[in-house]
A = this chain, B = another copy of it.
Amino acid sequence: MSSSNSSSSSSTETLSIGIIGFGTFAQFLAKRMVNQGHTVSATSRSDYSHLSSQLGIKFFREMENFMDEDHDVILICTSILSLSEVLKSVPIHRLKKPTLFSEVLSVKEHPKEVLLQSLPEDFDVLCTHPMFGPVSGKNGWKDLPFVYDKVRIRNEDICSSFLRIFQNEGCRMVEMSCEEHDKLAARSQFLTHTVARVLSEMEIESTTMDTKGFQNLVQLKDTLVTDSFDLYSGLFVHNRFAKQELKNLEVALETVKQKLLTTVDGTL
């Protein structure tokens, strides 16, 4: 971590951040980090050398070389489903010092568990979930929730500097246990994605006579189906509360249907 020469009043320390998994969401985050003066490098299954150089980011095709960089933070941005596999391929022993591992997966208990299992005792772990994406956060991150759990933090300075990236952008910082996050997210984010996927399956489209409510649903569908199916299914597979919420949704639909059928009977 090095003192920043930037005149910005809010960001005082610049970090060297290494990103593993440089897909859509990682790129979206990395742009702001570079803007704030941090040094960002990245590695990924696919080759993002060209794009990275445009963004001012050092891209490593080889994980080994990536690990030789002197990172303050390693930020995991892979898909939920590939986390375990990706982490197995990370040669953690090559790191020259205990390093903060953070991640942004849309589920939280699973990466917490995997990181605690994979990392040496003296590595810090910060689990986070920015509750927005390239579409909902395209006009800035002001007031958008950033959920985090300081799972195992000894180096408070590095952790605070990393969190400050999101504070600086105006995020609403929400400290919450990984378990509590997953409970709430199953009832909110997973449910929202499910509704969007169902509407997409029905192929709903705008009509000449949309109500405002229907317009909102079409927009929700259009926004969320741009997220990968990997992301959506990850919300289900690795959030232990999701299965129950899917069941709740089915039961609620059945209840509404029965109420309608009772009305039909009543009007016969």
> Restricting to A116-133, which residues have a CB under 8 Å from any CB of B?
129, 131-132
Segment with Cβ contacts to B, from A31-39, A48-56, A190-198: A190-198
Alpha-carbon distance between A191 and B264 when the two chains are bound, in angstroms = 17
Q: Are A216 and B209 in contact (CB under 8 A)?
A: no
Residue A11, interface by CB 8 Å: no
Number of A positions contacting B (CB below 8 A): 60
> Restricting to A218-244, which residues have a CB under 8 Å from any CB of B?
219-220, 223-224, 229, 233, 236-237
Residue A208, interface by CB 8 Å: yes
Q: Which chain B positions have C-beta within 8 A of A174?
A: 208-209
A176-217 to B contact mask, C-beta < 8 Å, 1/0:
100001001101110111111111011010011111111011
Residue A263, interface by CB 8 Å: yes
CB distance from A138 to the nearest CB of B (A): 11
Q: Are A145 and B210 in contact (CB under 8 A)?
A: yes
How many copies of this chain sit in the oligomeric assembly?
2
**Given A217-B195, A233-B260, A211–B253 Cβ distance below 8 Å?**
no
Considering only CB atoms, which chain B residue lies closest to A224 in the complex? Answer: B213
Q: Which chain B positions have C-beta within 8 A of A129?
A: 209
Residue A255, interface by CB 8 Å: yes
Q: Are A237 and B263 in contact (CB under 8 A)?
A: yes
Q: Are A198 and B253 in contact (CB under 8 A)?
A: yes
Q: Are B191 and A204 in contact (CB under 8 A)?
A: yes
A244-268 to B contact mask, C-beta < 8 Å, 1/0:
0010111011011101100110010
Residue A77, interface by CB 8 Å: no
Q: Are A216 and B216 in contact (CB under 8 A)?
A: yes
Contact of A212 among B132, B181, B199, B204 (CB under 8 A): B132
Residue A155, interface by CB 8 Å: no
Q: Which chain B positions have C-beta within 8 A of A188?
A: 204, 207, 209-211, 214
A residues at B contact (CB < 8 Å): 81, 129, 131-132, 136, 144-145, 147, 174, 176, 181, 184-185, 187-189, 191-199, 201-202, 204, 207-214, 216-217, 219-220, 223-224, 229, 233, 236-237, 246, 248-250, 252-253, 255-257, 259-260, 263-264, 267
Q: A189-B214, A192-B217 are in contact. List 8 more A-B contacts (CB 8 A).
A: A144-B212, A174-B208, A174-B209, A176-B208, A176-B209, A198-B256, A201-B255, A236-B264
